[in-house]
Structures are given as C-alpha cells and as structure tokens.
Amino acid sequence: MSYFSLLRIFPFFLVLSIAMPLYAENHPRYTVTDLGLIGYVSEEYDFSQAQVFRINDAGMVIGSSEILEQQQAIVFQPGSTAYIELPDHDEPAAASGLNSQGDIVGWTNSSGLASAALWQFVTGSWQLSNLPLLEGYTSSRAWDINDNGVIVGSLNDGSKHYAAYWPNATAQPILVGEGSGFEGEAFALNNNGMISGIQGPNVWGQPSASFHWQVGAPSVSLLPKISDDIKAITSWGGVDINNSGIIVGGADALFVGGYLSFAVTHPFAWSESTGIQDLLPSSSSTAWAHNINDAGYVVGETIGAFFNQPNGPPISPVVNGEPGRIPFVYRQETDAEGNTNWQEYLLWDQIPVEDRDIWHFYKASGISNVGHIVGLGGKFVSVEEGYAWHAYILTPEVADLSVEQTTPNAQTSTKPRAVKAQSADPQQDSSQILITVRNHGPLAATNIHLNNVLAAELSIDSIDAGAGSCQSTLNANNNDTLLDCVFDTLAVNEVGKVILKIGSATTGDYPISITVSADEADSLNNTNNQLNKTISVQGTTHSPTDDHQDNPNDNPASDDDAGNDEQSPSVVTLSAISLPVLLLLILSLWRIRRRV
C-alpha cells in the first residue's frame, strides 16, 4: 500500500489530532511557511523523488522536484517561496547538500549514470560543474560540502560504491582511508575535516556499519552497535555530522526471538565523549535521524509515536490499521553532573491547529543553526485530488539573545541619572567594560540572566546595570567572582547594558566569561549566547583614598551630577557655614578692639 493511499483516508487522523493541545510545554513553537508544490500524488510508488534536504543559516533551501516528468535539482533563495531549477543538461538531477556560502552539491544523470555536481551562483546566475572522476570508475555522487569547499560522496566502479572526497571543486577525488578505498558512501563532513558515512553495501541482509574518518588519519573507525538486543545489524547509516563531531543516523535492526523476527530502525547519536546513544522516541516503533545542527538539535521522523491529549491517555495516529509518520526533534542537554541527555518533542505538537487541518508533515530532513526546519509534507488539495507533496519551513518562535563585550565611551550609561564621568586617570578608563545583551526576536524574552565569571585577581569597583539588578558571589573553589545580572524583560531588538569598573592589585590580562539565558528556548541558536575574552586591567598604583570609587551596593542617589560620591551631609553643612562664622568672628574682634 502506498503512503498516499494512507493519506486519502487522512481525515480519520485529523479527528484524533484536533483533540491535541495547541503546543507542548518547554519547547519552541513554530510557524509554517508553505514553499509550494514539488511533487504529485502517485498510487504506483511507495516513495517520491520530491525531496527537501537541507537549509543553511541564511535561509537557502535545496532539494529535488518531480513535477517536470523527471527529477529536478531545485533551490529556494532566502525568503522566496518559489523554487529555481538548477542547471542539469536536460537530464535528471538531485541536490543533496549546501554550505554557508550557498554552494550546492548533488549529481546529474546522463545515460543512466550519475555524475557528482557542484552548483555555484556566479555573476547573477547558477553555474553547473561536474566533479572530476577517478580513473577506473564509471559514476559518482556528491552528498555534502563544508564551508572550506571540501566535498564528500562516492565513486562507483560498475558494481560497488566507494566512499570518497574532493579536496576542492577541480581536484580529483581521493578514496577514504589513505587511498585504499572504503566501500560505502560518505554522506557528510564538518568544517574540521571529519567525515561520516556508511560502510559496505546498504542492502538488506548484508552487514554494514557507520564510520567516521578524520581527513589524513591512518585508518577509518567504525561506530559500535546501539545495543546487544539488536541481534543483526543490516544497515547502519551515519547521515550527518556537526562541527562538534556528533554523528546522527538510523540503524536498521533485525530482532530475532523464538519464531518471531521483525525489522525496525533506531535513530542514534554518537560522539567520542558520549559513545552511542539510542534516540528512538518513547512509545515509537521505528524512527530515522537525518540532520543535526551545531546547537545539538536533531531532526527526523518517527512511526508509531504517541501524541498527548489534554484529557485522556496519549494516542497514536493510525490510518487503515497502519501507523503514520510524524517528524520529531531531539534537543541535546547536559545535566549538572555533565551527563548528556536527549529531550524529544514531536513537531505536530508545536504547530497551530489550523495548519494541522491541511498538512501531514511527513519528513523533517534539515535544520539550520538558527533552528529553521525544512522537510516534506502531504498538503490537502481537494477532495477530488487528495494530497500533494509540498516543501515547508518551520520557523521557531523564540527569543534569540546575543551578548558582546566592548569598552564604553565617555557618554555611555545605562541609568536615567547623570553618568559617572570617566576619570582622567587612564588606570580607571582601561578597567571599564560594557556588556550588551540584545534580543533579536521574534519573541520577547523574559527573566534574562547575564552571568559573568571574573578571575580571582579581579574586583568589581562599580556596577551600572540600568533597569537590571546584579548580585555577586564568590566561588569557594577558586575565588572567582560570579556575577548574575537580571533583566525582567527585553522586547524584540531591545538591548540591556551593564557597565563594570574592574579593579586589580596588579596589571595584567585576565579572562572573563559571559553567558546569557532566558525563559524562552534560546538554545536553538546558542552560538551567540556565550563570550570568552581577555581584558587588560591596570593595577592599583595609588592609594585608594586618592579617588572615590563606587561600591557595587552604592545608592545611586548619593552620586553628584558628575557621578562622584558626594560628601556626607555633616561635611556639606560645615563647608556651607564656615564663611559666615569666620566673618562674624572677625567683626566681633574688630568691635572689641575699638572699645579698647
């Protein structure tokens, strides 16, 4: 039975879905952008050549369409909902990977043979280059390209695939594994030259395994099994790798028990620090992991997962007795003990109810570092026409916070009152730092915490946090100062600022660590949430009594218009009456003298 046969009776599934909660808690919500038709319903096939593979941080989306009687490589420019057909020599083509610069790789077909391809946008148009082919091989495919222009894929000698990579667009491919040739496919690589893929033919009944290989390393390393419960691994696909070296994919497993044997697929994540981890969603029978971003979010789809209901037990979508596919996201988290865990949520729980009436999100295949998700879905056309393949983008509704540290100028202040003037003493100017947190939207941020770690040699002479409030504690282990500044809320594009005056007994360069967090799910783009820098501080070479300095707990009202600590009222009173008293004394003495 084809998947679209299931979709034709999808209204039963909709009855189940309407009872679900609008959003699951503690996860980002998403808005849906329809990228349009890229494939038609077919009753003859259980698969489609229409695919959406990847999205980069600029919002460029690549994939394949089957509208024009054959598979076409396509690209959506950032912000556009109409795709562009990539050049293909009037032959079938597919786009499978792209980098942050917008270079796209995939393959074109000629006379039934695939040829690895690179598309680049040059002087206002897309240009196609087919990559060089190593002698003795008849075809090739490119799967991914990193930001350094290195491309990975495979070569075929007419009977087998061999994992390979191209150091650049014009260089001949190099077989993975010190030139000896590694049978399989190289699916992905990161910017550090670490490649992941699958060993051996991906054919049912023939053992295979995921591998990782660092370019230039003496040998290829195979990933371990998920579990000893998996009696026979038939394919073990390392599909993607992020810049932290985490590999994700799917493992087809054959369970054998007594007279019963059945096959399932387990999504997995692997890294050198954590080893292999099973990502099969709870209550799910089988699932696939397709892509991971640098923030540790994994996207894929699952079969047999259960939805939460506001009233009643969880339910699983079932169509004609068969479970439906539902995209999922896994978020990587680290607990207080340093253990890495994965928290799951289903995308169906995170989209508006009105979108559930017309969509069945079949696959989530790509996620950018800023959290945008792309995939393929069945979208309802009409009762007569049923459903068609549409590409989609899910945009997370979160507050994206960033933090930076600079040196304040003489006019910088975060308080409505007059600014403390910078001292003419360069020792004071060099020790001031400005920390700025900005909310890039699209949602407002609440309960924003700006955490600073200062080396034990540093002291905080003054704090100007504007609308925020700050508290400092001492780390008992190393005497570092831990400063926590809190802002109640930051609207979209609003900034919060903290000015610190830092002191030290000795001149030197000292590390400072700054992180920002909020109640909203800012971890989708956590690459701009942390800052580690070195600041230069002049040591104290004069007596502290030579210059008044603010105490962190100083009352701002006690500062004069120049920001200097004012004298106590008693001192002010004495200075105000000293001249009249002196004049009165002189007059009295003069009168006494005249009488004499």
pLDDT score, position 49: 73
Q: What is the DSSP string of 544-567?
A: GGGS----TT--GGGB-TTSPBPP
What is the tens place of the pLDDT at every residue in 126-162? 999 999 999 999 999 999 999 999 999 999 998 888 9
> Which of 145 and 491 is assigned the larger pLDDT?
145
Mean pLDDT of 309-323: 48
Report the range out of 63-67, 79-83, 181-185, 439-443 with the highest average pLDDT. 79-83
400-558 matches 3-396 in CATH topology:
no
Within 335-428, strands assigned E span 340-346, 359-367, 373-382, 386-397, 399-406
Mean pLDDT of 275-287: 80
pLDDT score, position 556: 38
428: left (phi over 0), alpha (psi -120 to 50) or beta: alpha
Q: Cα torsion at 48, 121, 369, 289 (round to 10°)?
A: 20
What is the tens place of the pLDDT at every residue in 24-62? 345 778 889 999 999 875 544 444 677 888 999 999 999
Beta bridge partners of residue 192, listed in sequence order:
none
Pick the CATH number of 3-396 from 1.25.60, 2.130.10, 3.30.70, 3.40.50: 2.130.10
Q: What is the DSSP string of 380-399?
A: EEETTTEEEEEEEEEEEE-E
Element (H, E) at 141: strand 139-145
Q: Cα torsion at 478, 483, 484, 486 (round to 10°)?
A: 180
In whole angstroms, what is the distance from residue 143 CA to residue 166 CA? 11
Q: What is the DSSP string of 456-505?
A: TTEEEEEEE-TTSEEEEEE-TTT--EEEEEEEEEE-TT-EEEEEEEEEES
Rg, Å, the chain Cα set: 32
Sorting pLDDT into bands at 50, 70 and 90, what band is 568? very low
In whole angstroms, what is the distance from residue 574 CA to residue 581 CA? 10
Report the range out of 182-196, 265-279, 407-421, 432-446 with the highest average pLDDT. 182-196
Tokens of 148: 């350094």
Domain range summary for the chain, segments of one domain joined by +? 3-396, 400-558
- 433 close to 408: Cβ distance less than 8 angstroms: yes
Pick the CATH number of 400-558 from 2.40.160.40, 2.60.40.1510, 2.40.30.10, 1.20.1290.10: 2.60.40.1510
- 19 close to 67: Cβ distance less than 8 angstroms: no
Q: How, if at all, do strands 445-454 and 113-122 pair?
A: unpaired
In whole angstroms, what is the distance from residue 577 CA to residue 494 CA? 49
Could you count the other beta carbons within 10 Å of the beta carbon of residue 578? Answer: 10
Sorting pLDDT into bands at 50, 70 and 90, what band is 521? low
Tokens of 358: 């017309």
Surface-to-core class of residue 141, CB atoms within 10 Å of its CB (0-12 exposed, 13-18 middle, 19+ buried): buried
Please enumerate in sequence order all residues whose Cβ is within 8 A of that of 209, keeping only pairs 6 or more positions apart, or say none.
198, 199, 200, 222, 223, 233, 236
Tokens of 50: 């229409």
In whole angstroms, what is the distance from residue 464 CA to residue 486 CA? 12
Q: Cα torsion at 371, 214, 104, 241 (round to 10°)?
A: -20
Q: Is the peptide bond before 442 cis (omega within 30 degrees of 0)?
A: yes
In whole angstroms, what is the distance from residue 275 CA to residue 592 CA? 100
In whole angstroms, what is the distance from residue 287 CA to residue 344 CA? 12
In whole angstroms, what is the distance from residue 204 CA to residue 453 CA? 54
Report the range out of 125-129, 202-206, 399-403, 561-565 with the highest average pLDDT. 125-129
Sorting pLDDT into bands at 50, 70 and 90, what band is 97? very high
Beta bridge partners of residue 299, listed in sequence order:
291, 329
Q: What is the DSSP letter of 224?
A: P
Task: Give the SS3 label for residue 527.
Answer: helix
- 371 close to 398: Cβ distance less than 8 angstroms: yes
Task: Write down the residue that tokens 């995209």 correspond to.
Answer: 327
In whole angstroms, what is the distance from residue 391 CA to residue 75 CA? 11
Q: Quote the pTM value.
A: 0.70
Q: What is the DSSP string of 80-140?
A: -SS-EEPP-TTS-EEEEEE-TT--EEEEEEETTEEEEEEEEEETTEEEEEEPP--TT--EE
In whole angstroms, what is the distance from residue 94 CA to residue 88 CA? 9
Tokens of 104: 């796209």
In whole angstroms, what is the distance from residue 516 CA to residue 276 CA? 30
Phi, psi of 593 (to 5 degrees): -65, -40
pLDDT score, position 458: 86
pLDDT score, position 457: 87
In whole angstroms, what is the distance from residue 291 CA to residue 555 CA? 52
Average pLDDT of the chain to the nearest whole number: 76
